[in-house]
Amino acid sequence: MAYAPAMAHTPLRRLAVLGGCGVLAMSFQAPAHADPTFTHISTPSGRTTLLDDGGSPTFAISGTASPDVTTVDIVCVRGPSGSTDSTVVASAVPVAGGGFSTVSPVPDLSGSSPVCRLKALPSGILPDDDTTSFSGPILNIDIVKRTSDGTNTLDFRLTAGSGNGEISVASAGKCGDSSMGTLADDLSVTRDSEGCVGDLGGTAGSVRVDGHPALLPPEVLAFTNGTSPLSLSFHTRKDGQLTWTESAPLLRCSGTDTYPPSSPGACGSLLGTGVSFHRVGTFDRGGHQVRLRDTFTSSDSAKHRLRLVYGVESTPPPTGALGFAFPGRSGGFHGSMTGQVVTGLPKKAATVLVRSDRFTAEGDPSAGTRAITWSRPPDRLAFSADDATVFGLQYALAVPKNGTAALGLTDSQATLTSTARALGSRAADDMMPAPRITSPARGAVITGKRTKVTGVVRAGANGLPVSVTVNGHRATLKPTGASRATYHVVFDESLGKHTLTAVARDAGGNRRSTSITVRNK
């Protein structure tokens, strides 16, 4: 049997003997060296995020080519050489004076991964050939597909890429954050975390306002004769971070509290519940985290009782079995049962881990772990009575008169459970900012024992902190807006050096602190 140590050079489909006999027989026969053929796309420059939110956006492409190139096809490619997935962006772009330039529509990759590498291929070169000499930038092509009644947006679906991750997101009443995947170096994607996180629709108990089932725009569209406009906006940064906001009134049927209404007519007319919903979503952390920050605001100046069930659905691979690791439990991943209720959850922000297949080895690239972090402990975490892959996070919140109730969920994903756990831990920390001490200054000398401390707190995922203490003394909180409050407190300290520690606590049981050292003399 031949022994031929060799690097199989997959991109060239060259199962060649390189290190072994090829090297042993090293000769110095000169290969024919014609001038190399190359192209280089210089615009867009570097990794670029393009947002297609309708309106047929275009983008400029320009670059240079070797003298032997007369026309180029602009393609966006991903996947391993030999089985490349490519999308044609522009065909037969002429090369003049060693350069080319065109303006093309942003390609529609919504049925595929949103990340690809742009290349200008000379005529006759196919994406599956060796295309390493045709260089170009990686594009994140974030695409929004809106469902509209002609005037108003009623629903949306978004695909986006960043870093080495990609996501698919739907509106809050129709799945929320739906899938996350990891990109390989060749930009092929492993979608190892499929499901819905942060869904506020689909069941009678998803959203109830003052005891009535409430509907978000996708449900209004699906179950009634009416429509409810969804206000949407998207913002991308060059580094791939994407932020979106969705806002809508919560409506209910005048004719029935049955969910869904037995027929569109049974709903009767649509009534306002007096509460509006607002979600801010952020996609970043290298493409592996989605932060959802939901607020429910009284729109009729009245107080309201809110009952929410955030649905979390995970889709296992066809032959795998989901694994769940709940906070406060040990022993790794476990299966789930229909109707199972999970108790003993920590009384603060915490993370549940969902492994796409609990039987996989850590590091197996075809499996992934999702870290779902809540800003406040749910009143109840229960699995569906008929589907052990679905659980709900149940909350009862009070929306104060003219006020707002707030809640946060963060969805993180990684191939390694250890990475997902770290992302979850960071997400829990991010649910609440630390207070800031504005006075006294760090190292200040205070004359006498009387010590006055002032500072600022900002709203986190659970809204503004509900209390601030400084060295155990309760401070007075004065909101200066929806997202900011000042605090102050006066107390006596003994003379000498002290550490002043301001501790803020939010409605979810989370605490953050800041300390400075001062001296009373």
Partner 1 sequence: MATNVLRGARGLAVAATVVLPLALLTQLPADAAPGPGTWTSITTPADGTSFLNEFGHEGHLTVKGKTSPDVSAVNVYCLRGSGSSVDATIVATTVPVVTGGFTATVPVPSAPTFPQCRLRALPDGVSATQTYLASYAGPVVNFDSWKYLASQDTFQLRASSRTGTMATNGMGVCAAADLATVAPDETVPGGSHGCLYALGQSGLGATHGTVGVDGHEAFTTGAALGYGLTPTRLATSSFHLRHGGGMGWVETMPLDRCSTDTAFPPSAGTCPTLVSSGVEIRQVSTYLPGGHQVRIRTEFRSVDGERHALRLDYLNSVSPLADGVMGFRFPGQKSFHGSTTGEVVSALGHAAGTTLARSNRLSDEGDPAVGTRAITWSRTPSRITFSGSDPNTFGMSYRLRVPKGGSVHLGFADSDGVLTSQAVALGHRGERDMMSAPRISSPDPGSVIHGRTTTVKGVVTSGANGLPTSVTVNGHAATLKPNKSGSKAAFAATFDESLGKHTVTVVAKDAGGNTRSASVRIRNI
Binding partner 1 (rule: CB under 8 A), the pick from 42, 50, 147, 186 is 186
Least gap, CB of 418 to partner 1 (angstroms): 14
Least gap, CB of 141 to partner 1 (angstroms): 18
Of 382-421, binders to partner 1 (CB under 8 A) are: 415
Select the span of 98-106, 251-259, 319-327, 418-426 touching partner 1 (CB under 8 A): 319-327
Calculate the alpha carbon distances from 335 to 68, 358, 380, 460 in Å. Answer: 61, 8, 18, 33
Q: Which is nearer to partner 1, 26 or 96 (by Cβ)?
A: 26
SS3 labels along 388-443:
CCEEEEEEEEEECCCCEEEEEEEEEEECCHHHHHHHHHHHHHCCCCCCEEEECCCC
Residue 436, token pair as written in the block: 């800031």
Q: How far apart are CA 269 and CA 256, in angstroms?
A: 10
Residue 188, token pair as written in the block: 């092929």
Using alpha carbons, select from 67, 125, 136, 61 the residue that is nearest to residue 96: 67
CB 453 within 8 A of CB 488: yes
Q: How far apart are CA 424 and CA 487, in angstroms?
A: 30
Site string for partner 1, 455-484 (x = CB under 8 A): ------------------------------
Q: Partners of 58 in the beta sheet?
A: 105
Q: How far apart are CA 78 and CA 66, in angstroms?
A: 24
Select the span of 31-39, 140-148, 265-273, 295-303 touching partner 1 (CB under 8 A): 31-39
Least gap, CB of 325 to partner 1 (angstroms): 17
Select the span of 9-17, 171-179, 257-265, 499-507 touching partner 1 (CB under 8 A): 9-17
Least gap, CB of 109 to partner 1 (angstroms): 19
Three-state DSSP class for residue 79: coil
| CA angle (131 as vertex; 129, 135 as ends), nearest 5 | 165
Three-state DSSP class for residue 469: strand
Q: Which is nearer to partner 1, 43 or 227 (by Cβ)?
A: 43
Select the span of 32-40, 150-158, 195-203, 447-455 touching partner 1 (CB under 8 A): 32-40
Q: How far apart are CA 116 and CA 110, in angstroms?
A: 12
Q: Partners of 358 in the beta sheet?
A: none
Select the span of 167-175, 258-266, 313-321, 450-458 touching partner 1 (CB under 8 A): 313-321
Site string for partner 1, 90-119 (x = CB under 8 A): ---------------------------x--
Least gap, CB of 333 to partner 1 (angstroms): 12
Q: Does 18 bind partner 1 (CB under 8 A)?
A: yes
Q: Does 316 bind partner 1 (CB under 8 A)?
A: yes
Q: Partners of 121 in the beta sheet?
A: 73
Q: Which is nearer to partner 1, 105 or 286 (by Cβ)?
A: 286
Q: Which is nearer to partner 1, 136 or 218 (by Cβ)?
A: 136
Q: How far apart are CA 382 and CA 385, in angstroms?
A: 9
Q: Does 19 bind partner 1 (CB under 8 A)?
A: yes
Of 121-140, binders to partner 1 (CB under 8 A) are: 129-130, 132-136, 138
CA 500 to chain centre: 37
Give the interface with partner 1 as residue ranges (CB under 8 A): 1, 3, 5-12, 14-15, 18-20, 23-24, 26-31, 33, 36-38, 40, 80-81, 83, 117, 129-130, 132-136, 138, 184-186, 316-321, 356-357, 359-361, 363-367, 415
